[in-house]
């Protein structure tokens, strides 16, 4: 029956059909079947449908058989006269054969016939087969009969049940679309699209599973860096699901279309004409009518590469009101913020995993798409690692290597990371070009200097250079140029970073660049004094250069220098291989916000140096004795680090540094006094004065409500501790000569961690209130922990260490009341004679260490009987294992087994 219509003949030779429609022409061609065909065409389904009557008496042509075989779904419209047509029976027999052989989906439509007549071949169906039996061979008739029964037994649509016919047509079309969506996509070639199917499924899950009947208009944003595959993924999704909609529109390169002299109005008009299939009529004169039609139509709209939310809103208006129920809008872009304005959900396109990346590389680098072996496989992995899962980069790298020799591969590999591929850079640079000037500068700072650094730290440093840095970094994240890790560090794709480097390297001569980070370039510019006024940042890993001797005017021309960091990976080293003349530097840029110079070799900074813009001043292990004379206005300064500067005599005047947060002066052995103005630094968070051996004078109090850490450890001349605020979390007074704790610490503002190791002048257990979690008092002068100890109230205490307290003879506290205690360590308290009875089992305690407590007596209490039971049975085993439980030094078997039995009991029997 079916001759291919003119509009479909061209496709017949090259592509498979979506649907083959089998029907009896005289019954339904001008009625139901024609309406069904028109509905399928409106949904962009390629349907094979007869255009003219075929002459009776001839068998169906090979072209009809081929059309059935090429179709994904066959719709069989079985009407009253269907069984009387040998043509129709030949078609249904062929359809049944394809169903069995290749799994072709079949949708029966029982049009004004009883399905039972088909399976039982009763009524008019029976009459038809009686007539065929008299004319045709038995084998053919039996084949027809079996096929009709097989299709009749399938679940289908009954015109008597589903009415009116318009509804029946809609339901059949929806059923066809559903079956097509579950099968191979109609027009989306997947060859070479590695990893695409899993990503399609993820996006389809966001689009909601029931695309056919969902009522809400849903907008999905597809977001990712350049070259990650947003466009490819979106086009594949469009091809796969567009037949499920009444209208569809795909606009590639949205920004490019606008640049080609197309206004938003023109694009809006093109969208409407495409969706409504309205090519000739004037939309302007029918605006209200057009709006009503759109509002009733379920559509799929895909807009690729959108960078402006206002343009998007102008194009789509309010999608919920503009388009019909169940419509879906997909928007791709590199700016997450833009997408979030219009999208209900956002899908981030992730890089290919290592296996997918290697497969894609092999497809492009090998003429036959085969994987490589041996050394070639190792080189392949190195290229793949370089691309970090970016499909565009992988494809470009692979194509550049097709047919090349192994020596060419090795040469190409050496260039990785040094010379940016222009094809890759041109794609990635689109996002950079969309930034304003300050955002571009922040991006380059991160790419050249701050990758892997803490976001908050970088924000503070760059706040001294720009305005609203936090917002700009968020914008860079939204544009997929920067990522923030789970540990809050700034990260970026290697290719993005290299794109940034390439932008800086557009100035060929290093001295003309704005930023230097390559040790060879820094060495060349500084040693030859070639730097220009354009220099904004210079970072040097001093471990990667030989001895460098600079002149006093090495930085004289760098008036715009904002960021200077000379660092070493071995931070504790006091070695500095960058040397200055005895007179030091003549000048440094007043624009500096970051000055970090490990082992700074001069006794002071330049006399005329203005530090007003400094955010961070870090000169660890330097030779400075005095930074600058007089007072500087340091309103931007957040951190000063002079650790290990043994020549430093006076702390610089920081009285005007009202935003100071961190002070590190560990190991400044000649410093005697911490100036009194520190009392008024209300934003101070960390104060580190460890190993300041001559430090003696401190402010009476530190009023900062933000102070978290105070370290006075190994300061033997410190005999009093300043009063502190309630915000303090950690206080380290180990190795000092204090006799008592400040009242603020004892009664009201207990830190979570308190260290009093080696404080021999502490002779009484401090009366600490609740809140402390770790209390360390090793090697103190404490003689007794009384039974009335304030320990009873330390309900949050988890760790109590009192090792090597030689004066300690009694431990009278009942540890059974310490509900949170995990560790009690009294090892090395060789004179301990008494350990308190235990009123109840400690809930959390898993480790009690009494190694070296030779004189401790046996406790009595709730668990005494259990201890006795374990005493002899475990004695020998415990002796063997005593070294594993910090019991070395215990001379008595009884003491050993007693302590071990406590552990066994409290650990629930676990030795």
Query: Which active-site residues does the annotation give?
Result: 91
Cβ burial 504-536 (10 Å sphere, 16+ → b, else e): bbeeeebbebbbbbbbebbbbbbeeeebbebbb
Q: Are 785 and 811 in contact (CB under 8 A)?
A: yes
Q: Which phi and psi (to 5°) does residue 45 adopt?
A: -100, 130
Q: Which phi and psi (to 5°) does residue 306 adopt?
A: -95, 135
- Cα–Cα distance for residue pair 751/117, rounded to 1 Å: 88
Q: Are 304 and 230 in contact (CB under 8 A)?
A: yes
Instruction: Using DSSP, state whether 279 is helix, strand or coil.
Output: coil
Q: Tokens 């010379």 correspond to what residue?
A: 419
Per the DSSP assignment, residues forming a β-bridge with 610 are none
- Cα–Cα distance for residue pair 691/307, rounded to 1 Å: 56
Q: Which phi and psi (to 5°) does residue 173 adopt?
A: -60, -45
| CB neighbourhood size of 591 (10 A) | 17
CA distances from 521 to 511, 540, 579, 597, 881 (A): 8, 10, 17, 18, 61
Closest to 473 (Cα-Cα) out of 337, 660, 661, 333? 337
- Cα–Cα distance for residue pair 770/829, rounded to 1 Å: 26
Pair of tokens at residue 79: 């009407």
Which residue pairs, CB below 8 angstroms and at least 24 apart, start in 85-88?
85/1, 85/24, 86/56, 86/132, 86/136, 86/144, 87/1, 87/54, 87/56, 87/60, 88/1, 88/22, 88/23, 88/24
Pair of tokens at residue 383: 């290229």
Q: Where are the alpha helices (DSSP H) in 465-510?
A: 469-478, 494-504
Q: Are 770 and 750 in contact (CB under 8 A)?
A: yes
- Cα–Cα distance for residue pair 108/807, rounded to 1 Å: 96
| Pairing assessment for the beta strands 490-491 and 483-484 based on DSSP bridges | antiparallel
Closest to 22 (Cα-Cα) out of 37, 7, 39? 37
Helices (H) then strands (E): counts for the chain: 31, 32
Closest to 809 (Cα-Cα) out of 856, 756, 774? 856
Pair of tokens at residue 421: 């591929």
Instruction: Using DSSP, state whether 635 is helix, strand or coil.
Output: coil
Pair of tokens at residue 726: 């309630």
| CB neighbourhood size of 410 (10 A) | 11
- Cα–Cα distance for residue pair 66/12, rounded to 1 Å: 9
* DSSP string across 745-813: IIII---SEEE-TT-TT--S-----TT-SEEE-TT----EE-TT-GGGG-TT--EEE-TT-TT--EE--
- Cα–Cα distance for residue pair 407/382, rounded to 1 Å: 15
């Amino acid at each position: 029956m079916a001759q291919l219509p003119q509009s479909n003949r061209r496709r017949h030779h090259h592509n498979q059909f979506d649907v083959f429609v089998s029907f009896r022409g005289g019954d339904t061609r001008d009625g139901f079947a024609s309406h069904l065909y028109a509905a399928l065409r409106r949904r962009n389904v390629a349907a094979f449908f007869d255009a003219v009557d075929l002459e009776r008496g001839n068998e169906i042509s090979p072209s009809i058989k081929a059309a059935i075989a090429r179709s994904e779904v066959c719709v069989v419209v079985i009407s009253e006269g269907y069984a009387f047509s040998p043509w129709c029976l030949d078609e249904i027999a062929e359809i049944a054969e394809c169903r069995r052989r290749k799994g072709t989906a079949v949708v029966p439509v029982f049009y004004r016939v009883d399905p039972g007549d088909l399976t039982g071949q009763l009524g008019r169906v029976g009459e038809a087969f009686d007539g065929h039996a008299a004319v045709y061979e038995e084998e053919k008739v039996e084949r027809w009969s079996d096929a009709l029964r097989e299709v009749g037994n399938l679940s289908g649509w009954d015109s008597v049940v589903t009415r009116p016919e318009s509804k029946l047509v809609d339901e059949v079309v929806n059923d066809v679309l559903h079956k097509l969506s579950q099968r191979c996509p109609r027009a989306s070639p997947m060859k070479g699209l590695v990893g695409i199917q899993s990503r399609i499924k993820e996006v389809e899950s966001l689009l909601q599973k029931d695309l056919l009947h969902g009522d809400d208009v849903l907008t999905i944003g597809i977001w990712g860096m350049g070259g990650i595959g947003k466009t490819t993924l979106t086009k594949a999704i469009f091809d796969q699901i567009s037949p499920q909609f009444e209208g569809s529109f795909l606009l590639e390169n949205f920004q490019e279309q606008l640049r080609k002299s197309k206004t938003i109005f023109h694009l809006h008009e093109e969208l409407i004409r495409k969706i409504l299939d309205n090519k000739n009529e004037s939309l302007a004169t029918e605006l209200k009518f057009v709006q009503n039609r759109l509002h009733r139509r379920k559509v799929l709209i895909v807009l690729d590469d959108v960078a402006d939310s206002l343009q998007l809103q102008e194009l789509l208006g309010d999608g919920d009101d503009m388009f019909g129920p169940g419509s879906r809008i997909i928007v791709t872009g590199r700016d997450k913020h833009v997408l979030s304005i219009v999208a209900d959900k956002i899908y981030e396109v992730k890089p290919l995993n290592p296996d997918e990346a290697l497969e894609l590389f092999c497809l492009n680098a090998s003429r036959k798409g085969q994987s490589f072996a041996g050394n070639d496989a190792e080189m392949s992995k190195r290229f793949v690692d370089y691309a970090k899962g970016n499909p565009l980069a992988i494809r470009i790298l692979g194509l550049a290597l097709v047919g090349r020799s192994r020596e060419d591969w090795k040469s190409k590999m050496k260039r990785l990371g040094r010379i940016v591929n222009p094809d890759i850079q041109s794609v990635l640079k689109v996002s950079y070009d969309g930034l304003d000037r300050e955002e571009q500068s922040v991006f380059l700072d991160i790419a050249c200097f701050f990758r892997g650094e803490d976001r908050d730290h970088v924000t503070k440093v760059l706040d001294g250079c720009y305005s609203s840095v936090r917002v700009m970094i968020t914008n860079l994240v939204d544009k997929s140029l920067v990522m923030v890790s789970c540990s809050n560090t700034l990260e970026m794709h290697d290719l993005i970073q290299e794109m940034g480097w390439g932008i800086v390297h557009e100035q060929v001569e290093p001295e003309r660049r704005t930023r230097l980070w390559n040790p060879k370039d820094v060495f060349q510019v500084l040693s030859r004094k070639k730097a220009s006024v354009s220099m904004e940042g210079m970072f040097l890993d001093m471990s990667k250069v030989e001895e460098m001797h600079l002149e006093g005017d090495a930085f004289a021309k760098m008036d715009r220098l904002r960021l200077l960091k000379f660092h070493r990976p071995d931070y504790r080293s006091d070695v500095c291989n960058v040397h200055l003349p005895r007179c030091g530097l003549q000048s440094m840029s007043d624009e500096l916000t970051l000055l970090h110079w490990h082992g700074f070799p001069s006794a002071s900074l330049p006399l005329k140096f203005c530090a007003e813009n400094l955010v961070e001043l870090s000169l660890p292990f330097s030779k400075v004795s005095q930074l600058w004379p007089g007072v500087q206005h340091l309103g931007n300064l957040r951190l000063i680090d002079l650790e290990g500067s043994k020549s430093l005599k006076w702390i610089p005047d920081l009285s005007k540094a009202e935003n100071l947060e961190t002070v590190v002066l560990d190991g400044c052995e000649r410093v005697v006094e911490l100036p009194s103005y520190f009392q008024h630094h209300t934003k101070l968070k960390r104060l580190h004065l460890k190993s300041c051996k001559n430090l003696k004078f401190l402010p009476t109090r530190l009023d900062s409500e933000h102070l978290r850490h105070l370290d006075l450890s190994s300061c033997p001349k410190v005999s009093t501790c300043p009063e502190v605020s309630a915000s303090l979390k950690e206080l380290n007074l180990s190795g000092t000569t204090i006799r008592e704790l400040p009242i603020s610490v004892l009664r009201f503002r207990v830190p979570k961690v308190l260290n009093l190791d080696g404080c021999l002048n502490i002779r009484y257990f401090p009366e600490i209130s609740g809140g402390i979690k770790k209390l360390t008092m090793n090697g103190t002068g404490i003689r007794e922990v009384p039974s009335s100890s304030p320990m009873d109230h330390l309900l949050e205490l988890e760790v109590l260490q009192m090792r090597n307290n030689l004066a300690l003879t009694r431990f009278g506290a009942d540890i059974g009341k310490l509900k949170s205690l995990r560790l009690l360590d009294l090892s090395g308290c060789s004179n301990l004679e008494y350990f308190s009875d235990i009123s109840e089992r400690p809930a959390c305690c898993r480790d009690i260490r009494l190694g070296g407590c030779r004189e401790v007596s046996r406790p009595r209490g709730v668990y005494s009987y259990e201890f006795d039971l374990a005493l002899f049975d475990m004695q020998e085993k415990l002796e063997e294992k005593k070294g594993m439980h910090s019991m070395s030094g215990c001379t008595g078997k009884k003491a050993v087994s007693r302590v071990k039995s406590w552990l066994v009991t409290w650990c629930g029997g676990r030795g």
